[in-house]
């Protein structure tokens, strides 16, 4: 694993837990974790359950005992690490968004396609696909339970940047993160909509805005915590992203991604409206899915709450008795299960790097539209494409 911050901790939890709850085709060993600072990465190895710590990821790629590389570092590093790992014959799991630019994502996708020809596979980590309620929503749409899809509403709302004196982080630096709310959390909303609908977004019209232009930097002598210094850094990414989008079959979507939604902590809110019904989901109530059946007689119509904890629901048979919910960390274990199962079967794991590239193209189209203040911008390569088959 390369990187040991927030995502490194989440992925480490998954690698520890998945073998104990799922029947995996192999026994993953958590061999090496990589970070730039020796003291920090050694502490992370001890805390997160890795056998060794290393500061140079290139050394790790030469080892015969490493078969998988899990990339949890900032977006600017993804392209170099992923391509090198694939060329070294290592399977790759890469956190989203796939890269910082379309060009980088195209290079990564080309490398993944070359590697796949030799049985080496790559997957991008859109973990929310594996929230059981979201996977169930995809199945209901595919079964035609809401009829013809007409409208989509997707919001990803957080508030961790509301304090204007909160410190600078790498997520606020375009050179490291690529974009702000748009790529960090908007990418999740884009992928979830395409996954559930089975359709690509083909054109967009968007606007981006930075609400706080400068923030205090953290002191250099920060240990693992850090204190704010008098030096201030410039925020070079968007704080709020708003855009409309058209899906391949003509449905219209509205999208919002913000880290300034005061009071909202991690609210990925999705609603799909069709001719025969509707589906609604909120990640802050992740064990629930709302379903509306428009074909019911008028007096019985209304959104009904489905508690997605039955053994027959996606992934749930591996966990707890009915009614005992799961949490944020569990979809990462589902990701490990699907990834290793597909690799063992010689099947391309989903979402592939090509799907990550398609999301990157949507992100770029929003940025182009916002910069030009244009009504609509086409998403490259998506005129008639449909989203790849979902994991089940």
Domain endpoint, select from 70, 97, 127: 127
CB atoms within 10 A of CB 295: 10
Cα 360 from Cα 181, distance rounded (Å)? 14
Tokens 């509205």 correspond to what residue? 254
Counting the structural domains of the chain, the total is 2
Closest CA to 360 of 22, 54, 1, 96: 96
pLDDT of residue 227: 58
Separation CA 61–CA 69 (nearest Å): 8
Distance CA(93)–CA(116), nearest Å, equals: 14
* ∠ CA 266-267-269, rounded to 5°: 155
Please tell me whether residues 183 and 73 are part of one structural domain: no
In sequence order, which residues have a C-beta less than 8 Å from that of residue 255 and are 6 or more positions away?
A: 154, 155, 186, 189, 190, 193, 206, 241, 242, 243, 244, 245
Contacts with 109 (C-beta within 8 Å, 6 or more apart), sequence order: 98, 352, 353, 354, 356, 357
Q: In this structure, what CATH number is given to the domain that contains residue 177? A: 3.30.360.10
* CA 77 and chain centroid, separation: 17
pLDDT at residue 177, as a whole number: 87
Q: Check residue 375 and give its pLDDT.
A: 81
Q: Within this chain, do residues 142 and 93 fall inside the same structural domain, yes or no?
A: no
Find tokens 């939890």 and name the residue.
13
In this structure, the answer to whether residues 18 and 98 fall within a common structural domain is yes
- What one-character DSSP code corresponds to residue 10? H
Residues 302 and 325 in one domain: yes
The pLDDT of residue 228 is 56
CATH number, domain of 112, equals 3.40.50.720
Give residue-wise pLDDT tens across range 230-274. Answer: 789 999 999 999 999 999 999 999 999 999 999 999 999 999 999
pLDDT at residue 309, as a whole number:
98
Q: Are 16 and 332 in contact (CB under 8 A)?
A: no
Tokens linked to 194: 């395409």
Residue 80 is part of which domain span? 6-127
Same structural domain for residues 263 and 152?
A: yes
Q: How far is CA 15 from the centre of its chain?
A: 17
Q: Do 12 and 29 lie in a common domain?
A: yes
- DSSP letter string over 269-336? EEEEEESSEEEEEEGGGTTEEEEEETTS-GGG-S-EEEE--STTSTTGGGS-STT----TTHHHHHHH
The reply to whether 225 and 105 lie within a common domain is no
Q: How many whole angstroms separate alpha carbon 392 and alpha carbon 390?
A: 6
Q: Which parts of the chain register pLDDT below 70?
A: 219-229, 383-392
88, 351 Cβ separation under 8 angstroms: no
Task: Round to whole Å and give the CA distance between 36 and 27.
Answer: 28
- pLDDT digits 0-9 by tens, 284-327: 999 999 999 999 988 889 999 999 999 999 999 999 999 999 99
């Amino acid at each position: 694993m390369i990187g040991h911050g927030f995502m490194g901790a989440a992925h480490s939890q998954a690698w520890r837990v998945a073998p104990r709850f799922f029947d995996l085709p192999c026994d993953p060993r958590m061999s090496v974790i990589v970070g730039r600072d020796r003291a920090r990465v050694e502490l992370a190895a001890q805390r997160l359950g890795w056998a060794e710590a290393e500061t140079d990821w290139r050394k790790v790629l030469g080892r015969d005992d490493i078969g998988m590389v899990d990339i949890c570092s900032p977006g600017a590093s993804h392209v170099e690490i992923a391509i090198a790992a694939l060329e070294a014959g290592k399977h790759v799991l890469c956190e989203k968004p796939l890269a910082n630019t379309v060009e980088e994502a195209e290079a990564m996708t080309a490398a993944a396609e070359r590697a796949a020809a030799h049985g080496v596979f790559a997957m991008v980590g859109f973990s929310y696909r594996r929230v059981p309620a979201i996977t169930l929503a995809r199945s209901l749409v595919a079964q035609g339970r809401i009829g013809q899809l007409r409208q989509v509403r997707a919001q990803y709302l957080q508030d961790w940047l509301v304090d204007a004196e909160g410190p600078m982080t790498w997520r606020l630096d375009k050179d490291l993160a690529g974009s702000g709310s748009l790529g960090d959390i908007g990418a999740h909303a884009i992928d979830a909509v395409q996954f559930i609908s089975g359709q690509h977004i083909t054109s967009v019209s968007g606007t981006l805005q930075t609400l706080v232009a400068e923030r205090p930097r953290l002191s250099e002598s920060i240990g693992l915590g850090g204190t704010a210094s008098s030096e201030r850094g410039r925020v070079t990414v968007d704080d709020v992203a708003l855009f409309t989008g058209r899906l391949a079959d003509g449905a219209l979507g509205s999208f919002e991604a913000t880290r300034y939604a005061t009071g909202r902590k991690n609210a990925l809110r999705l609603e799909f409206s069709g001719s025969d019904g509707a589906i609604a989901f909120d990640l802050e109530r992740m064990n629930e899915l709302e379903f509306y059946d428009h074909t019911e007689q008028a007096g019985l119509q209304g959104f009904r709450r489905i508690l997605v904890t039955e053994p027959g629901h996606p992934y749930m048979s591996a966990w707890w008795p009915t009614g005992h919910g799961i949490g944020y960390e569990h979809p990462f274990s589902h990701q490990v299960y699907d990834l290793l199962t597909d690799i063992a079967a010689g099947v391309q794991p989903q979402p592939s790097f090509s799907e990550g590239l398609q999301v990157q193209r949507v992100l770029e189209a929003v940025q182009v539209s916002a910069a030009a203040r244009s009504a609509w911008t086409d998403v490259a390569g998506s005129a008639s494409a449909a989203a790849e088959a979902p994991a089940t």
